[in-house]
Structure 1
Amino acid sequence: MGKIAFIFPGQGAQHVGMGQEMAENFSAARQVFEQADDILGMNLSEKVFNGSDDELRLTEITQPAIVATSIACLEVLRQHGVQAHGVAGLSLGEYSALVAAEAMSFADALPVVQKRGRYMQEAVPPGVGGMSAILGLAREKVHEACRQASAIGVIEPANYNTPDQIVIAGEIAAMRKACEVAKELGAKRIVELPVSVSFHCSLLKNVEPLLAGELAQIELSPAKIPVMANISADYVNSVEEMRDSLVRQVSNAILWQDSIEKMIADGYDTFVEVGPGKSLTGMMKKINRDVWAHQVENVKTLEKVVEAING
């Protein structure tokens, strides 16, 4: 194997019970959840392990819950001798990536992502914003669909996930018009996403100064391993670049496909999705089938990854 990258999922990967098996079997994971409860002053682990889907879908709960689960899985991987040469995270996952690279502390990351979630939820009132995945349409045609629909309202590309999947975000009427145009331009399929916030578009521009204020209050350090940033599809080298990337990704598109292609070009051929769900592993198959990718969330998936990497 060449270089190993840990990749961390974003919002949408959550499910009740995530991380519970790791916490029950490994003290390293259990300690992360105990820390999370202490840091936030609430029983986050109870909400994650035994709560309701509706509560876990609240953005200000979802975001710290996913980060805590990802870091719990990370600590177990490290305990088994699996280390990364570089990291990346999808949107929210960039915070987990920075924690993994020891550029941001777990104690600082959790309160910041909780506030990030709250600010995002407050920025777009329910019923105003939405997101849709457009499948099987080239970038330039997705851009054209958004351009035509922008006469109705805000609608922009939000996530460049794979060559076959681009997510758009904005005001609901404009989004649905863009989806109609996309179908006319040859999109194979359109999937409206079950979200109440239109992430990664200019409707969230007002969140940026609020988040910048929160990030200014925490200490960041130079990363111990390379960290790929969503916003540029390039590595963030300085503390200033890290802060800027986290702020700007709120209202700008996520360049996930470009980020992964850059890492592959730089010699990464083993990708471990650390945390809940396997959406990033699925995307990897659409981006490049020649690299090895597997997800770690429970004992079974952990054993497979440890055996594959450590032999």
Structure 2
Amino acid sequence: MSKIAFLFPGQGSQSVGMGQDLAEKYEEVKNIFNEADQALNDSLSELIQNGPQETLTLTTNAQPALLTTSIAVLQKVKEFNIKADYVAGHSLGEYTALVAAGSLEFRDAVQIVRKRGEFMEAAVPNGQGSMAAILGMDAEKLTEITDQVTETVSSVQLANLNCPGQIVISGTKEGVEKACELAKENGARRAIPLEVSGPFHSRLMEPASQKLDEVLQNHSIVDAKIPVISNVTAEPVTDADQIKDLLIKQLYSPVRWEDSIKTMIDLGVDTFIEIGPGKVLTGLVRKIDRKVKTYNIFDEDSLNKTVEQLRGDK
């Protein structure tokens, strides 16, 4: 029996105008953007629609903007009776997955991720932390390097285990630079510094996780109706307390994306649908396993095309 997973993008996929063709045409989509504005007491929809891109890309804006756009697109997907057996999201996208799974109310999620963005920005002074993508090195070897650098130079950890041969590291500027140098000396194909505003998913985010814990106390998280694959464990979770605990750990733990996709494939998923801006996640899925089917839904054209293909596959 064919199983479907919905995937939700994380920070980096944002762009001015995302989701607007659907919002202009459909009241129920527009309502999601309006609801985000009300929840934040801010004109987030105006920023999404008109930019500028630099302001939209700020962590405190990008996180609620991506969550809102993905949930807005999901509104239309639901109308075609496409249902997920599992949901997962990359970093921030995990909050979108929790809304899709009925564990978090949309309004609560928007408020939480706005705060999460603020805490992540504030955890490390600008310019002191960084991230880099290491290509062509396995996790074990890279962990040895980052552990060595953390002990001898400065803090750095594995942050995103995205797909075979693509791992992102995160930490202090000095720690990341030294780890990049050693990775290249030890056979990594490339080390690419990333344009980010902080060392996300590293131990330097622990102060942010403590503040996030306090925010989560004020919002209701219930058991998920659809299993959510946790970034931290790469395993399905539905229990509300466990979900909350994992969201706190997620801030300073690596995103185990490759393992998450493999878990879903082992559970029988053969169709992955990325819902929301960009095509990053389906690109990673194809690098993990070329045999599964991947689709993207980010506007009306891609929605109609995906629906048509899914009907044809049955």
Q: TM-score, normalised by structure 1?
A: 0.98
| Residue aligning to 1:216 | 217
- Asked whether the 8 Å contact 2:225–2:238 carries over to 1, the reply is no
| Residue aligning to 2:101 | 101
How far does the alpha carbon of each residue in 1:279-301 deviate from its partner, in whole angstroms, 9 at most, with x for none?
Answer: 00110111111101111111121
Task: Give the distance between the partners of 1:203 and 1:136, measured in 2 at CA.
Answer: 26
- Asked whether the 8 Å contact 1:164–1:286 carries over to 2, the reply is no
Task: Give the distance between the partners of 1:184 and 1:222, measured in 2 at CA.
Answer: 47
| Residue aligning to 1:77 | 77
Residue identity matched to 1:198:
P
Are 1:35 and 2:35 matched, yes or no? yes
**Shift in Å at residue 149 of structure 1?**
2.0
CA RMSD in angstroms comes to 1.0
- Asked whether the 8 Å contact 2:59–2:197 carries over to 1, the reply is no
Structure 2 unmatched ranges of 5 or more: none
Residue identity matched to 1:115:
K
| Residue aligning to 1:21 | 21
| Residue aligning to 1:158 | 159
**Shift in Å at residue 237 of structure 1?**
2.5
- After TM superposition, the structure 1 = structure 2 runs for residues 300-311 of structure 1, keeping only pairs within 5 Å, are 300-311=301-312
- Asked whether the 8 Å contact 2:226–2:238 carries over to 1, the reply is no
Task: Give the distance between the partners of 2:244 and 2:289, measured in 1 at CA.
Answer: 30
**Shift in Å at residue 88 of structure 1?**
0.4
Are 1:276 and 2:277 matched, yes or no? yes
**Shift in Å at residue 220 of structure 1?**
1.5
**Shift in Å at residue 147 of structure 1?**
2.3
Q: Which segment drifts farther, 110-119 or 81-90? A: 81-90
Report sequence identity in percent: 45
Give secondary structure in 1 for the equivalent of 2:133. Answer: strand
| Residue aligning to 1:259 | 260
**Shift in Å at residue 309 of structure 1?**
1.7
How far does the alpha carbon of each residue in 1:259-306 deviate from its partner, in whole angstroms, 9 at most, with x for none?
Answer: 110000000010011111110011011111110111111112111211
**Shift in Å at residue 61 of structure 1?**
0.7
How far does the alpha carbon of each residue in 1:29-80 deviate from its partner, in whole angstroms, 9 at most, with x for none?
Answer: 1111111111111111110010111101111111100000010011110012
- Asked whether the 8 Å contact 1:145–1:179 carries over to 2, the reply is no
**Shift in Å at residue 145 of structure 1?**
2.1
Are 1:167 and 2:168 matched, yes or no? yes
Task: Give the distance between the partners of 1:213 and 1:275, measured in 2 at CA.
Answer: 29
Residue identity matched to 1:130:
S
Give secondary structure in 1 for the equivalent of 2:69. Answer: helix
**Shift in Å at residue 25 of structure 1?**
2.5
Structure 1 stretches (4+) deviating beyond 4 angstroms?
none
